[in-house]
Amino acid sequence: MAGEEAVSNKQVILNDYVTGFPKESDMKITTGSIKLKAPEGSNDTVLLKNLYISCDPYLRLLMSKPDRASVLGSSKPGSPLHGYGVAKVLDSTHPNYKKGDLVWGFTGWEEYSLITSPQVLIKIQHTDVPLSYYTGILGMPGMTAYAGLYEVCAPKKGEYVFVSAASGAVGQLVGQLAKLAGCYVVGSAGSKEKVDLLKNKLGFDDAFNYKEEPDLDAALKRCFPEGIDIYFENVGGKMLDAVLLNMRLCGRIAVCGMISQYNLEKPEGVHNLMLVVGKRIRMQGFAAGDYYHLYPKFLELVIPAIKEGKIVYVEDIAEGLENAPAALVGLFSGRNVGKQLVVVARE
């Protein structure tokens, strides 16, 4: 019977817990086997053929040995990595999913995944946009940009907005949403190519290469002579300290992530935090997953904007699971230009 025979299943396996910067050799490619059928007798199982997997910075946090500070859980050495992806349902015993459905959500870094209790699998309704967008602008990073900017910071027309890691999966959308809200938007990124992209393709008002700025405070003063109302924080460290010096009274900081700290044994301190008091700054961490109830509203905004060319999205696409470790590791040296994803299979 179809599905009874086991087929080979290429996987990206975590070798061991990681310390410091991740390396390609922290992962290996192996080939297991899997039956392309949801187990009989189950009522909550979905068998997926993975099409795209998403390289996201938080995956590095899952690779660390879990400790009391871990809130995200952890990957298991010897097992495939897990993260967001786009997949096709091959078989299902779960009432909400049927064969042929396209979904985005939590899956494995492998060709086929058997998902039990698929809490985070969202059915894809709009297929007249690139399917790969559901790893980025139409998936978790898109919801991150939307929730962090609109829900956490509530931008008003004319406000000054600064975005770090601005050309990445989240940042490029934050900047464009802030422009749609009528704000003045500046981004920082780590190369001339990325700065050009921000200014010439993604519609930022200004941008700078933080790696070529000996004095981040001076760079921000140059870009924001009147100060910053909203900071969308993606990197932490020295940039956060410089931003605090330049925030305006009653400014808001959406703390989305701090990628500059993820590989450090000992996180850097933040020296200018006291300014939060005098300047009445509201600084709020948030997680995209807390806002998924707003996903339909988000799609109503963003899908027409994509189709009308009012929002563009830059992707960096690696081909094949063999190239997934390099793609993931590349996030931490800024090798990706735009949203980094990996093609596992074409539909």
Ligand X SMILES: NC(=O)c1ccc[n+]([C@@H]2O[C@H](COP(=O)([O-])OP(=O)(O)OC[C@H]3O[C@@H](n4cnc5c(N)ncnc54)[C@H](OP(=O)(O)O)[C@@H]3O)[C@@H](O)[C@H]2O)c1
Binding site for ligand X (CB under 6 A): 56-58, 141, 144, 165, 168-171, 189-191, 194, 234-235, 256-260, 286-288, 331-332, 334, 336, 339-340
Query: How far apart are CB 258 and ligand X at their closest, in Å?
Result: 6
**Maximal CA-CA distance, the chain:** 70
Is the separation of the CB atoms in 148 and 284 below 8 Å? no
Q: Which residue has the tokens 């990325």?
A: 194
Say if CB 334 and CB 191 are below 8 A apart. yes
Residue 162's DSSP bridge partners are 186, 231
Nearer to ligand X, 90 or 197 (CB): 197
Least separation in angstroms between residue 21's CB and ligand X is 10
Q: Toward ligand X, which CB reaches closer, 112 or 232? A: 232
Measured CA to CA, the distance from residue 12 to residue 6 in angstroms comes to 19
DSSP 316: E
CB 188 within 8 A of CB 161: no
CB of 202 to ligand X, least distance (A): 13
Nearest CB to ligand X, comparing residues 290 and 347: 290
Question: Helix, strand, or coil here: 203?
Answer: coil
Residue nearest to ligand X (CB): 168
Q: In angstroms, give the least distance from the CB of 331 to ligand X.
A: 4
Give 170 or 228: the residue with its C-beta nearer to ligand X: 170
CA distance readout (Å), 83 to 62, 67, 121, 259: 10, 20, 11, 17
Q: Give 63 or 90: the residue with its C-beta nearer to ligand X.
A: 63
Closest distance between ligand X and the C-beta of residue 63, in Å? 13
